[in-house]
């Protein structure tokens, strides 16, 4: 999950670098979609980390 988030962030950065701030609407939509995808992955990762921490806590007790 972490790797996929990094890849999505890199795609966003690359598109911003290549096309600057004068992007057409399609590129803006692609970047917005990648940002949303990245946020979803980050949320899933955070949930997974919390679950893992809970499991580890239970195992220690």
Distance CA 40, CA 38 (A): 5
Whole-number pLDDT of residue 1: 62
Give the pLDDT score at 44.
Answer: 93
Q: Specify the pLDDT at position 2.
A: 66
- The CA–CA distances, whole Å, from 25 to 7, 8, 29, 32 equal 22, 19, 6, 10
The domain spans of the chain are 2-60
Cβ pair 54, 17 in contact under 8 A? no
Is the pTM higher than 0.75? The answer reads no
**pLDDT tens per residue, the chain (61 residues)?**
667 777 777 887 887 777 765 557 777 788 888 888 889 999 999 999 999 999 999 998 7
| DSSP annotation of 1 | -
């Amino acid at each position: 999950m972490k790797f996929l988030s990094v890849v999505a962030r890199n795609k966003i950065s690359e598109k911003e670098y290549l096309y600057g701030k004068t992007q057409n609407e399609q590129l803006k939509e692609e970047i917005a979609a990648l940002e949303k995808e990245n946020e979803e992955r980050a949320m899933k990762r955070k949930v997974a980390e919390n679950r893992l921490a809970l499991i580890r806590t239970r195992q220690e007790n």
